[in-house]
């Protein structure tokens, strides 16, 4: 299909606060593959490859654009019943209410306050400027063009906040975090999960984060008061009862459980290895009809297909971490559990150009059926568990797994409850 368009961004969406930068890239990519009828059929996997990000990132953008009313999606069922590429159409015209036209007209054509008295009537020339009326220029009064009025620390905090907000607004992340919170709520077996989900989704990202951090404090305070009757989770969430806690009590009990970690740093790599050690978190899809035909013809082996699908679909969070780390122009970090920090004390750096050591680590990933570690020119050093003289990465991974065994056990128990 010819690339007939170079941009396909409706002007009415640019002021929508829900819009993200990645959404604009997805729209432009749809435009490059749109036919003369305005439709584009494109695989999310191919789009993710072109944008150098995770497929889940593209899917989240398309879902967000669909909710905003910018993109229309049409499912094209395949003959064998498996997933196939969707059809997409960008909607250029937004329905405008009549009252909006009236507001625009009043803003555009009503007199501008303060401009009537200061503007000479038409046909009467303005008086010439008096050269003595203007005071001399004062160098101290010139505007300061200093890019560091916003300090680097503030910029870093804002970037971390954006990354946290992106993670919190991911629908899958919201659901996963609700499950974790829900199974820690006393009396959840007899409570309405549906009502609680609705209330959870109605919270802002900041409120959800505060709820997660302060709920243990709230429950501890109830225990001290001798309260034993379980409260409905929906009531707790709707009334945001964690906000009633005294700040002194909160400071004593609350400790952050996660921190934003830079790509390929100690905590980031520890989180990646921990997720891989937990095993695939989703069911691996079977071979497609095309792959089955290739297997029958001897062009592919069933083991190769299974291995590739395991790496591609088995660890969504790891693949999303990887995609965010490779984003351009600036890589994005990941919200990582602080509980792993202690196990990273002896991690060692490997330079990106050290193909021998990096090759040994990727060989070990391949042997275990893990996704490979993909790097970009943005990162010069990568942190790994130490491999002592005469050892292999397999030994280092085993030692790291033993160091975080309690964390892995807790996570496995939590995943069993969430399932």
Answer yes or no: do 221 and 266 share one domain.
no
List, as one string, the DSSP characters of 265-329. SHHHHHHHHHHHHT--SSPPP---HHHHHHHHTTSS-HHHHHHHHHHHHS-HHHHHHHHHHT-SS
The pTM score is 0.44
Burial (CB < 10 A; 0-12, 13-18, 19+), residue 224, is: exposed
Specify if 121 maps to a domain.
no
How many structural domains does the chain have?
Answer: 4
Same domain, 82 and 226: no
What is the biggest distance separating any 2 CA atoms in the chain, rounded to whole angstroms?
A: 93
Q: What is the pLDDT along the chain (419 residues), one digit of tens a residue?
A: 444 555 578 777 777 778 888 888 888 888 887 877 778 888 888 888 888 888 888 888 888 888 777 888 777 666 665 566 778 888 776 554 444 445 444 444 444 444 444 444 545 455 555 544 445 544 444 444 444 344 444 444 555 555 555 555 577 788 888 988 988 888 777 888 888 999 998 898 889 988 988 888 888 887 777 777 778 899 999 999 888 876 555 555 556 678 888 999 999 999 999 999 999 988 888 888 888 888 898 888 888 888 888 888 889 989 898 888 888 878 888 889 999 999 999 999 999 889 899 999 999 999 999 998 888 777 889 999 999 988 999 999 999 999 999 999 988 876 554 44
Return the SS3 of 181: helix
Residues 376 and 263 in one domain: yes
Whether 239 and 292 share a structural domain = no
266 with 381, same domain: the answer is yes
Residue 91: CB atoms within 10 Å? 17
Q: Are residues 238 and 271 in the same domain?
A: no
What residues make up the domain containing 74?
A: 11-90
- State the DSSP string of 210-225: HHHHHHHHHHHHHHHT
Candidates 318, 321, 323; CA nearest to 282 is: 318
Q: In Å, what is the CA distance from 142 to each residue of 136, 151, 334?
A: 12, 21, 42
Is 285 contained in some domain?
Answer: yes
Residues 6+ apart with CB under 8 A from 25: 51, 61
**Is 153 part of any domain?**
no
């Amino acid at each position: 299909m010819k690339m007939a368009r170079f941009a396909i961004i409706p002007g009415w969406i640019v002021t929508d606060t829900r819009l993200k930068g990645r959404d604009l890239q997805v729209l432009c990519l749809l435009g490059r593959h749109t036919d003369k009828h305005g439709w584009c059929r494109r695989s999310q996997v191919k789009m993710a490859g072109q944008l150098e990000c995770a497929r889940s990132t593209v899917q989240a953008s398309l879902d967000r654009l669909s909710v905003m009313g910018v993109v229309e999606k049409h499912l094209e069922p395949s003959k064998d019943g498996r997933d196939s590429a969707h059809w997409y159409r960008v909607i250029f015209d937004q329905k405008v209410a009549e009252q909006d036209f009236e507001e625009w007209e009043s803003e555009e054509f009503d007199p501008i306050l303060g401009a009537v008295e200061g503007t000479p009537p038409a046909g009467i020339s303005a008086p010439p400027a008096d050269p003595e009326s203007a005071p001399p220029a004062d160098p101290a009064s010139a505007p300061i063009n200093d890019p560091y009025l916003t300090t680097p620390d503030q910029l870093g905090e804002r970037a971390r906040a954006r990354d946290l907000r992106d993670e919190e607004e991911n629908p899958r992340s919201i659901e996963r975090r609700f499950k974790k919170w829900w199974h820690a709520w006393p009396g959840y077996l007899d409570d309405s999960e549906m009502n609680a989900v609705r209330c959870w989704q109605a919270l802002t990202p900041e409120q959800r984060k505060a709820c997660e951090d302060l709920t243990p404090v709230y429950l501890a305070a109830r225990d001290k008061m001798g309260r034993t009757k379980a409260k409905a989770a929906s009531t707790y969430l709707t009334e945001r009862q964690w906000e009633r806690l005294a700040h002194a009590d909160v400071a004593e009990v609350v400790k952050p459980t996660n921190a934003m970690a830079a790509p390929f740093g100690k905590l980031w790599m520890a989180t990646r290895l921990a997720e891989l050690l937990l095993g695939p978190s989703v069911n691996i899809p079977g071979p497609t009809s095309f792959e089955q035909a290739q297997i029958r013809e001897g062009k592919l082996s069933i083991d190769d297909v299974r291995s590739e699908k395991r790496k591609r679909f088995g660890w969504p969070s790891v693949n999303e971490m990887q995609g965010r780390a490779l984003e351009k122009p600036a890589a994005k970090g990941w919200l990582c559990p602080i509980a792993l920090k202690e196990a990273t004390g002896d991690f060692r750096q490997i330079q990106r150009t050290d193909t021998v050591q990096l090759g040994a680590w990727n060989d070990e990933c391949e042997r275990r059926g893990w996704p490979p570690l993909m790097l970009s020119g943005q990162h010069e050093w990568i942190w790994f568990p130490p491999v002592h003289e005469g050892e292999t990465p397999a030994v280092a991974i085993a030692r790291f797994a033993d160091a975080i065994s309690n964390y892995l056990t807790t996570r496995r128990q939590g995943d069993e409850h969430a399932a």
